[in-house]
Amino acid sequence: MDISSKKAFLCDMDGVIYHGNRLLAGATEFVAWLKREEKRFLFLTNSSERSPRELSQKLARLGIEVHEDNFYTSALATAAFVSSQIPGGSAYVIGDAGLVKALYDVGFSMNDVNPDYVIVGETRSYGYERITHAIQLVLRGARLVGTNPDLTGPSEEGIVPATRALIAPIELATGRSAYFIGKPNPLIMRNALRVLGSRREEAVIIGDRMDTDIIAGIESEIETILVLSGVTRREDIEHFPYRPDHILDGVGDIVPGKE
């Protein structure tokens, strides 16, 4: 099927639309085309730091106007998961505002004494005392959840540790394995399709990482597009036992007449 005929688009952000605070080539034209053709779309990110409103404001600063309803983060998916398991539960959170807000919005409370969950996401406020306290809570019965399984992420300064690296000391010290919500967990993909009101046959996922975006699409049976504007290089593809359905230089190539 021609990519442009798809009705729903799940699109990663960093490495696809922008890198840090730099807009990538073709991104403006791609988003304009999505709006013009009245496509259903979500920017789907494993990051849990920022809320949809903050992500919308970031894109606006880069020159692209997108409503906050068009963003779905691993924080939102994590909040949906824990609230479905224990409605009105509580959590001890090592993470930033986007994660805390998502949990409050589903009726969770913050609890550093006897929480139902210890939840870890990306954060710069990471310290020995908080990790030690999280370890004690997990040993006393709190369930351990990570917003995504990424080991590293990009930043303006270069590679930084992401959720899986941050949660590792808790896993090692307690002997408990965390449950990770974000890509490639099909759970976040099903939630995103539900938000869009779309079937998987109508959708396509666009990303720059073979180990999260592309495998997430494959495991969810959603058509995949790898763009080479981010992490994965063309020569890297042969190192994986699976392949994307399409390989493009960037999202601008999706717009008819721009290939």
Question: Which pLDDT tens digit goes with each residue over 132-141?
Answer: 999 999 999 9
Mean pLDDT of 177-193: 95
CA dist 204 → 5, 18, 42, 116, 139 (Å): 10, 19, 11, 35, 41
What CA–CA distance (Å, rounded) separates 110 from 130? 14
Q: Which of 14, 96, 208, 213 is catalytic?
A: 14
Least confident of 27-31, 114-118, 125-129, 174-178: 125-129
* Residue 245 is among the residues annotated as catalytic for this protein: no
CATH code at position 240: 3.40.50.1000
Q: Are 112 and 195 in a shared domain?
A: no
Give the pLDDT band of residue 236 (cuts 50, 70, 90): very high
* Residue 12 is among the residues annotated as catalytic for this protein: yes
Q: Are 97 and 127 in a shared domain?
A: yes
CA dist 209 → 45, 105, 230 (Å): 12, 30, 8
What CA–CA distance (Å, rounded) separates 5 from 3? 5
Other CB atoms within a 10 A radius of the CB of residue 71 amount to 23
- Its domain, for residue 89, covers 85-180
Q: 129 in a domain, yes or no?
A: yes
Position 258 scores a pLDDT of 62
Q: Which of 2, 12, 116, 236 is catalytic?
A: 12
The contacts of residue 144 (CB under 8 Å, 6+ apart) are 117, 118, 120, 138, 167, 170, 171, 174, 176, 177, 178, 179
User: What 3-state class would DSSP assign to 158?
Assistant: strand
Q: For residue 259, is pLDDT > 60?
A: no
User: What 3-state class would DSSP assign to 160?
Assistant: strand
Q: 75 in a domain, yes or no?
A: no
Q: Are 175 and 89 in a shared domain?
A: yes
